[in-house]
Amino acid sequence: MSKELDADQVAGNGLLDRRVFLRQGGGIIGAVGAAVGLAGYSRPVEAETLVVPEWTKKPGALFEPYTQPSKYETKVARGPIPPSPYNGIGPGSVRAPLQHLEGMITPNGVHYERSHNGVPDIDPAGHRLLIHGLVKKPLVFTLDALSRYPMTSRISFVECAGNSGGMYAEKPAEGTAQSLHGLVSCAEWTGVPLAMLLEEAGVDPSAKWLVAEGADAAAMSRSVPIEKVMDDALVALYQNGERIRPANGYPMRLLLPGWQGNMNVKWLRRIKLLREPAQTKDETSKYSLLLKEGKVAQFHFPLDAKSVITKPSPGVNMTSPGLYEISGIAWSGNGKITKVEVSADGGKSWAEAALSGPVLSKAITRFRLPWRWSGGPAVLQSRAIDETGYVQPTREKLIGLRGSRSQYHCNLITSWGVAANGEVKHVYA
Ligand SMILES: Nc1nc2c(c(=O)[nH]1)N[C@H]1C(S)=C(S)[C@@H](COP(=O)(O)O)O[C@H]1N2
Ligand SMILES: [Mo]
């Protein structure tokens, strides 16, 4: 290794200072490029003359009313598609292709989906939102009526409480970032603050909770404490600038930034103000957090800080030794990500990654770190730290707290084993 890179090594097994790629004036291209052979990734001009390809010789395709991704990008797809027990409808989930995405936003077409009884075919003209219960004046809203209220936008992740549940298993499950962790996505949501609608209805001081109900065949219903609603709940109408996709709750969903996905009721049709939680089927038969020694926490709402490396990751393998950028996503339901650390030696030593801005509360944050892969075996890990000081736990620590029969809120540190041939696999460190 060159002197420059020796100096830049900040943790074991080739992890480099996060600023290496940012250096000005011959930094990367001069020192790092020459030292590790970045030049080897492109070809010298002499190797090939710039030919005029076929597609340059004739006029291109016509305009489309709504464009689709390139036909060469079919791997960027939700999956795996579960078999349907009921002729193409019914319960299940599909995961976002995390290892094929960049940045912080999930494109609408590949946002993960968890639907307990299929996607209802809702005509927006016939849809109503009812607010009733402990209010002075029950109200009903059409979509047109809601669209006249002032709107708010925020970028927020939604994550299923069951995401990564397979990581509690005794043996490391085979899989990709998508199949192991793909029940999380992040979008810009736009809609009307629920607090504004409740103010109009006039909340009775005795109301401490509300129950939100969906218009799907599952009639998904969850109780939400009123403080959360007054803080940042949104009746979301738009997802990344367009109407919410049918799979994600068209024409409106409840957005509870940072709280377990299940509570973000899709196809929202009813909100009832209550003194106490409603104890619906969806918060008693499921979504309670199993702790050690047979104890259960019925309600455990925010999702704790978590991260996963998406590049490299299973299926996104290493090719030849040399300089790489490790990249991944981190998020916390309790605020902003303040730091992500990366290890290339299975957690023995750590280097601080660079965070790609904007770093937003309860949103996905992209992290990056230069790594000089020697070509030897390595175990890559990332751990997220949020503004509350919370540190993403190791597998041992989380299982110590919850036991190994737990299912939900699994945010333990993931390990990707890199073999000498460059293949990446899920391992336990
Ligand atoms: N009405 C309704 N809302 C729902 C669900 C549902 O099945 N019906 N699934 C919930 C679950 S379990 C999750 S994880 C999130 C998934 O949101 P998404 O499909 O937009 O990703 O929606 C929640 N809201
Ligand atoms: Mo979920």
Mean pLDDT by 10 residues, the chain (429 residues): 72 94 55 51 69 94 96 96 72 95 98 95 98 98 97 98 94 97 98 98 98 97 98 98 98 98 98 97 85 83 97 96 97 98 98 97 98 96 98 95 87 98 97
Check residue 191 and give its pLDDT: 98
67 burial type by CB count under 10 A (0-12 exposed, 13-18 middle, 19+ buried): exposed
Check residue 287 and give its pLDDT: 84
Of 419, 322, 407, residue with least CA distance to 371? 322
- How far CA 127 is from CA of 90, 119, 227, 268, in Å, comes to 21, 14, 27, 9
Tell me, using a 6 A CB cutoff, whether residue 261 lines ligand 1: yes
Residue 116 Cα: closest atom of ligand 1: 7
Residue 213 Cα: closest atom of ligand 1: 1
Where in the sequence of the chain do the CATH 3.90.420.10 domains occur?
Answer: 124-287
Residues 410, 163 contacting (CB under 8 angstroms): yes
For domain 124-287, the CATH superfamily is: Oxidoreductase, molybdopterin-binding domain (3.90.420.10)
Tell me, using a 6 A CB cutoff, whether residue 160 lines ligand 1: yes
H helices of 263-393, in order, are: none
Where in the sequence of the chain do the CATH 2.60.40.650 domains occur?
Answer: 306-427
Structure-block tokens of residue 102: 């960049």
Give residue 358's Cα distance to chain centre.
16
Check residue 405 and give its pLDDT: 81
The beta strands (E) that lie in 169-208 are given as: 184-193
Task: State pTM to two decimals.
Answer: 0.94
Which residue owns the Cα nearest ligand 1 atom 5? Answer: 115
Check residue 49 and give its pLDDT: 73
Which residue owns the Cα nearest ligand 1 atom 10? Answer: 262
Place of tokens 């939700």: 78
Instruction: Choose the residue to mutate in 189, 220, 224, 271 for probing ligand 1, maximizing ligand atoms within 8 Å of C-beta.
Output: 220
Tell me, using a 6 A CB cutoff, whether residue 163 lines ligand 1: no
- In whole angstroms, what is the distance from residue 70 CA to residue 63 CA? 14
Assign domain 306-427 one CATH number from 2.60.40.650, 2.160.10.10, 3.40.50.300, 3.40.350.10: 2.60.40.650
Tell me the backbone φ, ψ of residue 231, rounded to 5 degrees.
-75, -65
What ligand has the least distance to the C-alpha of 263? 1
Structure-block tokens of residue 114: 């968890």
Tell me the backbone φ, ψ of residue 74, rounded to 5 degrees.
-65, -20
Give residue 71's Cα distance to chain centre.
25
Tell me, using a 6 A CB cutoff, whether residue 220 lines ligand 1: yes
- How far CA 47 is from CA of 29, 50, 220, 301, 413, in Å, comes to 20, 10, 61, 58, 44
Tell me, using a 6 A CB cutoff, whether residue 260 lines ligand 1: no
